[in-house]
Structure 1
Amino acid sequence: MPGTQTRTIQVGIVGTGYAATRRAEAIQADDRSQLITIAGHKPDQIAAFAQTHGVSAVKSWQKLVERSDVDLVVICSANYEHEKIVRTALEYGKHVVVEYPLALGAIEAFELINLAKRQNKLLHVEHIELLSGIHQSIKAALPEVGIPFHVRSASLMSQQPAPEKWSYHREQFGFPLVGAVSRIHRLTDLFGKVATVSCQTRFWDSSKASGYFSSCLCIAHLRFTSGLLAEVIYGKGEAIWQTDRTLTIQGDRGALTIDGEQGKLTTAAGDRSLEVGSRRGLFAKDTAQVLDYLTIGTPIYVSLDSSFYALQVADAARRSAEIGETIEVE
């Protein structure tokens, strides 16, 4: 299957938001692929998206995955829809690219991975944070801190007022660290396997609509098999008054700090700024690697195994928060 696609890859996109727009631009800019159709939920947004990109629109994602002329389905919709769209697309014999998370539970994700293997089709879960200049700079500088023993990763976003959209809905977004599993994946990519997870979470329910929340806060403590201890903090909404996007790594020979898009390495020699690059163009890089894989068989930057493992850790955090106990990660 890798590298076997010789004709132009016909693509359908599910979604009309930011990620879908970046995907459409990347697909249309590459001679190996052609965007032929899109699907979404809101008729006005679907019509505008289709007109902008010069493609046809279908009434539902079900109609899109049924089309015999679609080779690759790119899923850029709400988290809760990922599992069922991926499953149906694979059953119809399509290659699939999906924004993280693959599913809202580890068991469901495992089933989808096995289905992709049985169908001999590509299933790629986007994790563009691993392609970012920030992540690459961290990896390059990490040996200079020596043996890491403590990590604090904070992703707090103040939003006043909180929007009534799927990303602020308990069932549609999922457990916070599952819906935002990239916060876990960055750490497992850098530091390997996790032994135990302990997690607590809190929601502030919205007074405007049932099922929605105005704020959430999730704090997980991870103990890696290496002995490294990590604190992962994720929160958003009206109760969060100060936005915080920082990552601090303490090692026995130095420390590394990322604050937004600024990086600093501290060692016995003093402080040194890190070049972290730009966040721009990551969806294009991801799309190009998918097309490389399908046409010439080049491996994609992230494996299904590593993506699934990050989801397993996030799912362990969910179970820990539910039962109030430390969970061993299998």
Structure 2
Amino acid sequence: MTYASLNQPLRVGIVGSGFVAKLRAEIFSKDARTKLVAIAGTPEKAQAIAQEFDIPKVHQYWSELVVHPDVDLVVVCNVNRDHGAVVGQALRSGKHVIVEYPLAFNLAEAEELVNLAKQNNLLLHVEHIELLGGVHQLVMEHLSKLGTPFYARYSTKSPQRPVPDKWTYKPDLFGFPLTAAVSRLNRIIVLFGKVKSVSCQLHYSGDNLPHHFTSCVCNAQLQFENGVLADISYSKGENFWQPERIMELQGSQGALIFSADKGKLITADGEMELDAGTTRGLFKKDTENVLSHLFNGTPIYTNHESILHSLAVANAAEKAAATQQVIMI
């Protein structure tokens, strides 16, 4: 049953009051199929978003919003640590859910949430906009030209001086780096399938560890069941001096190499320049896909299988970093 056969418009509540919450509010406010009815977050920030987008109800606590009978869809974009709890309560209250990655910090909780959504015939959509971006779309288009892939690398570095006093630099709230940034794993797993083993190294810097870091570097090595090897690197903070976003895929017949949104396909026939365009507008595409699914039955662009496997790999990487051992999955 699509939502079009039920009451309209779809009534949306937002949990969170940061950048993504405001962006989601702006997108929903412009869609005639939806009505923003509530927001919960930091009081001053939530109130400001409510005033800008005419949201009638501001809750101090998310636990109030997710059980409210006037909410049909809960959008979860607060601190990572609380995602699992918010999603669980929303699903138990009969709400459809959109949540920013990660779905939860650990695989067992994530699996419970996916099963809960299925049992109650509710949408549980985990945002992974990297799959909607131009780089991923070009990789999908040209991957077959590489012959047999054997190596992948995805590396991001984000300098930040000075580091702000934000939850994204607090491990308890942010999570293990490759769990918080599980999209780095997911974009490779979507391409190459199941991972067999993981090793990982993690280093934090800062005067207030373990509560707050000023820099982190997290490097993982993945071995896929199909033989592909992958290096994943996530780094940010004061100890980095130049931003980087590199994706590299090597195969028996060619390579795809991207730096930011500019790339090239290299084969024996020569090089082809590739332009992935801007990353702007991806949250809008994500939201439109969800609404199209709810109203028209259009397939969601993500799938729970790769989302859960990516989280399993992130959990294995966390264990590998702690024990300095290779973890089999």
Q: Which residue of 2 is the match for residue 21 of structure 1?
A: 22
Equivalent pair of 1:89/1:95 in contact (CA under 8 Å)? yes
Q: Which residue of 1 is the match for residue 275 of structure 2?
A: 275
Q: Which residue of 2 is the match for residue 250 of structure 1?
A: 250
Q: Which residue of 1 is the match for residue 150 of structure 2?
A: 149
Does residue 1:64 correspond to 2:65, yes or no? yes
Q: Deviations over 1:253-285 (max 9, x none)?
A: 111111011111111122211131221211111
Equivalent runs, 1:88-167 vs 2, <5 Å: 88-167=89-168
Shift of 1:138: 1.0
TM-score with structure 1 setting the length: 0.95
Shift of 1:192: 1.2
Larger RCO: Structure 1 or Structure 2 (Cα < 8 Å, ≥ 6 residues apart)? 1
Equivalent runs, 1:76-87 vs 2, <5 Å: 76-87=77-88
Q: Deviations over 1:93-112 (max 9, x none)?
A: 11111000000111111111
Equivalent pair of 2:66/2:95 in contact (CA under 8 Å)? yes
Which deviates further from its counterpart, 68-77 or 272-281?
A: 272-281
Q: Which residue of 1 is the match for residue 220 of structure 2?
A: 220
Does residue 1:178 correspond to 2:150, yes or no? no
- Residue type at the aligned position of 1:248: E
- Residue type at the aligned position of 2:183: S
- Residue type at the aligned position of 1:90: L
Residues in 1 aligned to 2:19 and 2:313: alpha-carbon distance in whole angstroms: 27
Shift of 1:6: 4.7
Equivalent pair of 1:82/1:98 in contact (CA under 8 Å)? yes
Inter-CA distance 54–319: structure 2 relative to 1 (3 Å threshold): same
Q: Deviations over 1:59-84 (max 9, x none)?
A: 21111112101000001111011011
- Determine helix, strand or coil for the equivalent of 2:66: helix
- Residue type at the aligned position of 1:153: Y
- Determine helix, strand or coil for the equivalent of 2:39: strand
Equivalent pair of 1:205/1:211 in contact (CA under 8 Å)? no
Q: Which residue of 2 is the match for residue 285 of structure 1?
A: 285
Which deviates further from its counterpart, 224-233 or 20-29?
A: 20-29
Runs of at least 5 residues in structure 2 that lack an aligned partner in the other structure: none
Q: Which residue of 1 is the match for residue 199 of structure 2?
A: 198
Runs of at least 5 residues in structure 1 that lack an aligned partner in the other structure: none
- Residue type at the aligned position of 1:39: A
Shift of 1:175: 0.5
- Determine helix, strand or coil for the equivalent of 2:156: strand
Residues in 2 aligned to 1:123 and 1:273: alpha-carbon distance in whole angstroms: 38
What is the RMSD of the two structures over their aligned residues, measured on CA atoms?
A: 1.4
Residues in 2 aligned to 1:160 and 1:130: alpha-carbon distance in whole angstroms: 29
Shift of 1:159: 0.9
- Residue type at the aligned position of 2:66: V
Q: Which residue of 1 is the match for residue 313 of structure 2?
A: 313
Shift of 1:2: 4.7
Question: How many residues were matched structurally?
Answer: 327
Inter-CA distance 152–296: structure 2 relative to 1 (3 Å threshold): same
Shift of 1:319: 1.1
- Residue type at the aligned position of 1:194: V
**Identical-residue share of aligned pairs (%):** 46
Equivalent pair of 2:97/2:125 in contact (CA under 8 Å)? yes
- Residue type at the aligned position of 1:242: Q
Residues in 1 aligned to 2:81 and 2:173: alpha-carbon distance in whole angstroms: 5
Residues in 2 aligned to 1:185 and 1:5: alpha-carbon distance in whole angstroms: 34
Residues in 2 aligned to 1:202 and 1:5: alpha-carbon distance in whole angstroms: 51
